Every structure is written in C-alpha cells, then in structure tokens.
Structure 1
Amino acid sequence: MSPLPETVPFFSQWETPDMTLAVIADGAQAALRRDPLWRGSGADTLDEYAVWADNICGMACLKMILATRGEIVPTIELARRCTGYGGYVVNEGSIKGLIYAPFVAFVKAEFGLEAQVMTNVATADIPAILRQSRFFIASVSSSIRWPEREPPSKGGHLVLVTAASDDGFRFHNPSGHTSATQENAMLAPYDFDRFFANRGIAVAI
C-alpha cells in the first residue's frame, strides 16, 4: 500500500482513548462517568458526555477528517450540530444515529465537505472509492477490534478507512482497545469483509 500523502490524526470516541475495555466491562454510562478528560468532548455536563460518547463513532471519524486539514472540533459539539440536520434522533433514553443522508447534508453545509452515501458496497470496491474520495467511513461490527474472532453481526459501528489495496486496508477505529487497534489498524481484505456491512459514506476534502 502506498503511504498517505499526509498524516491522518487519530481521535477516540472517548476523551481517554484507553477506556474501551472499561466501557465493554462496565457499560458506557458507568465507565464514561470516570473519564477525567470528559470536558474535552465539548459536553456541557458529565451526564451529557456519558450519554453521547457511546454513540459518536461517526463524529470521531468526522473529527479525524477535519483534523487532517487543521480543524479540531470536539466530538459532542459535532454531534449537537449534526442533530440539527437530523443526523441523530434523540428521544428520552435513546439516541438513534448516525443517519447517513442528513450527515451528508451537514458536512456539506457546515464544512464544505463533499460526501456520498454508499450502499451495496463490496469490500473489493473500497480501493476504487478511495481513489475518488479521500476517506471512506465504513459500517462495521464493533468487534473488528478483535479480528481473530468471528463477529456476532455486521454493522453498528463506524471506522475511518484511510487507505486500501488488494493487500490490506488501513483504518482508524474510534473504539479500538489498544494502540494497534485504534490508529492505523491493518486488516487483509478478507478479514475486513467479515466485519463490513457493505455500506458507508465516501468523503472528499
């Protein structure tokens, strides 16, 4: 795989990146209330952070994309703004999203990013998508952090694919549990396919 033309900064969906195992063990609401860095998320309160942070893998991907061009925007600030476009639907006790089409409208209007919802995407199509667009936000199983395991299902989590070829895929995972599964994680196409839900969002900057 050829190197990227520039470094793509990594950001976790938690402000303390090594909290993933605690979130899995204790649940997001309990674990994230122990995050000492929560204010960096842009949340007004610890409760707001604990409710939202488990739902903002897509905003973490967007934060990384924006950081590539030198803009750092907190994840929960992004989530609030995206909600205004319908990218999340917030009801008492639940948050639905990320909803792709409103997200595309949001990033165009707020940041001038060209994005496209893509469905029925074969894993083998992703290298060509990246030749046309700078990034691909891929819907995968969150268990992609454990590639040696079989996923219980596909989809439900978003990762930022930054490079892809027939030899392997490179991606940032906002909920990776180790440095190797967070920043510039690598998987062979066959292994990526086991987790990939054949949909996502192509983003150009």
Structure 2
Amino acid sequence: MTATATTTHRVPYFSQWESSALVPGFVSGSVAAADDPLWRSSGAGTAAEYAFWAPRMCGMACLRMALGHFGRPVPASVPLVREALAAGAYVREGDQVQGLIYAPFATWVASRWGLFAEARPRLSVDEVDAEISRGRLVLISVYKTIRTLDPRPAGRGGHLVLAVGSGPDHITIHNPSGFPDHSQRFHRVPKADLGRFFAGRGVVLGPAPQDRP
C-alpha cells in the first residue's frame, strides 16, 4: 500500500568518499580518489587502497548510516569493507569485485550488530514505503545517475542508496555518491522518476526486537 503520510527518519549521512564536497570531481574523474585530502579517515592503509575501494563502497556507506541511526558504533569505511569481504558480502578477484551480495551481507549485519537485516531480491516501491513506516531503512539498488534524475539512464541498479523516508509521491534517500547541496542528504526522488533507476531489489535494515520501544 502506497504511503499516505510523509515519514522521514533522522539518519546521519556518510558519503562513500571521505571528502563529500569533492564528489562531483571524483565522479567526473577530474579529481583522483587517491588525492582525497581526507583519505586517511577511511582507515585505509594507503591512498591506493582507499582509491580502489572508494568508488565501490556505496553499500558500506549505507551500512554506516544505518548503524549510526540504530545506535551502533560506526566503523571506518575500509576496515568495514575488509569485514564484508571476510563475510562473503564482497568477492574480490584481482581488480574485479563482485558485490554487494545481499544474503551474506544480511547474515553478517544481523550477527555482527544484532540488527534486523533481510535480503529482498524482489522489492516494490510500495514495500519500501511499508518498511519505512515500520521504522526501518532500506538499501535499494538504483542506477548511479539518479543523483541528477537523468532522463535516460543507461540501466537500472548497480548502485546502492539508503531510503530514509517516504511520502505519497516520493522516496527520500541518502545517496553515498550524490552531489553536495543537491542529492546527497534527504534527497526526495519522485516516485514517477524512481522507476527509471530502481532495479526492484535491496536489503531491509531495522532495529533488533529488543531495541524497539
């Protein structure tokens, strides 16, 4: 059932790059990730390690937001990636990375932090509405150019954003690769536009039963 009221959860924001103000440059390639002046804050051992993972860490950025929202400690991003690799949520072969793999990711999140975590290989916009109304957050798979509401995206899926709110005509997202002062935090995406980008899958995250009031 589509939301008839507007609900927005007060979720902290993390970019997948440490310098969120520089995202337009990282995305366009005019600024190299290895030149991010804040790369050490990621917990990476080297600028090269950070540069490899930063473009691939949208899922970890979403997880960090959810952890902060649900009152859990928020690890630095690259150590979190290393844990995710060990848990099978990513699979790396040389310079190729498969992931985020939803089922092992959900199992890891539930066991590691005690949160509700459920992989949804089929997920509708109405179901995203319903989960948000229950006090949950939803990682949804969208195409990366959702940041500008590209009228002709090249596909659907491949990039993860965190749905933090919904209303009768929109879904509110935190986008780890959104543009500052435009599409990073609490970005309202009209439902009429979302279908161009949304792959119809994701992961639902919520508080553990004992955390509910």
- Superposition TM-score tier, normalisation by shorter sequence: over 0.9
Distance 1:178 1:129 in 2: 27
Residues 122-201 of structure 1 mapped to structure 2, 5 A cutoff: 122-132=124-134, 134-201=136-203
Distance 2:170 2:25 in 1: 30
How many residues align? The count is 202
Deviation, 1:148, is 4.5
- Answer whether contact 1:41 1:74 (CA < 8 A) is retained: yes
Matched with 1:109 is: 111
Match of 1:24 among 17, 24, 27: 27
Structure 2 length as normaliser, TM-score? Answer: 0.89
- Answer whether contact 1:32 1:50 (CA < 8 A) is retained: yes
Note the residue ranges of structure 2 that are not aligned, 5 or more in a row. 208-213
Q: Give the percent of matched residue pairs that are identical in Structure 1 and Structure 2.
A: 36
- Answer whether contact 1:133 1:203 (CA < 8 A) is retained: no
Note the residue ranges of structure 1 that are not aligned, 5 or more in a row. none
- Answer whether contact 2:169 2:190 (CA < 8 A) is retained: yes
Could you tell which deviates more after superposition, 150-159 or 119-128?
119-128
- Answer whether contact 2:7 2:132 (CA < 8 A) is retained: no
Deviation, 1:114, is 1.2
Distance 1:158 1:189 in 2: 17
Distance 2:151 2:42 in 1: 31
Distance 2:183 2:125 in 1: 19
- Answer whether contact 2:8 2:166 (CA < 8 A) is retained: no
Is 1:53 the counterpart of 2:54? The answer is yes
| Moved beyond 6 Å, runs of 4+ | none
Q: What amino acid does structure 1 have at the position aligned with 2:46? A: T
Could you tell which deviates more after superposition, 90-99 or 168-177?
90-99
Q: What amino acid does structure 2 have at the position aligned with 1:18? A: A
